[in-house]
Amino acid sequence: MAKQLGTKQLAANRKAFHDYTILEKYEAGIELFGTEVKSVRAGTVNLKDAFCSIKDGELFARGLHISPYEKGNIFNRDPMRPKRLLMHKREINKLYARIKQDGLTLVPLSLYLKDSRVKVEIGLAKGKKLYDKRDAAAEKSSNREISRTMKERSRD
């Protein structure tokens, strides 16, 4: 079978962009079993309530739900089990220091295929306050209104 090249997004965490201000983005591999990979390729992934934690120098994604593969029978794993993320040790240590020092958090932003390998984009994030969320929503609606007006004027 030929190797696929390029990237294909499988799942995105839109809620993360609503709840957090993303400061930096990182790419990490993810340790999955065979039936989980098949399920991910089918697109049955939910990143909505997922977060990352660092324990004993290892990075884990928790709350990342991968539905059991339909034809997987006894080989299916627990859909909510913590999945280990694969990054270099020095990157994990750097992230751990930033999290402890600045009170930030790690959030999975998207899950995608990159050259037939499953990758996770994680973001170093700072939580938004309620007024920040309101400001972002107001700015988004005003930008939408401006673009709508510009489009109408360009037709005339």
Residue 66 domain-assigned (yes or no):
yes
Task: Please give the tally of structural domains in the chain.
Answer: 1
Who has greater pLDDT, 143 or 39?
143
**What's the DSSP call for residue 148?**
H
* pLDDT at 72 (0 to 100): 67
Asked if residue 15 is part of any domain, the answer here is yes
pLDDT category of residue 75 using cuts at 50, 70 and 90: low
| Domain boundaries, position 71 | 7-128
**In this predicted structure, which of 27-31, 73-77, 99-103, 112-116 has the lowest mean pLDDT?**
73-77
CATH number of the domain residue 89 falls in: 2.40.280.10
What are the DSSP E strand ranges found in the chain? 7-12, 20-30, 45-46, 51-55, 58-62, 65-66, 83-86, 105-114, 117-127
- Report the candidate in 68, 73, 71, 70 with the shortest Cα–Cα distance to residue 32: 68
Contact yes or no for 36/70 (Cβ under 8 A) = no
> Is 148 contained in some domain?
no
- Work out the average pLDDT over 148-153: 88
What is the CB neighbour count within 10 angstroms for residue 121?
19
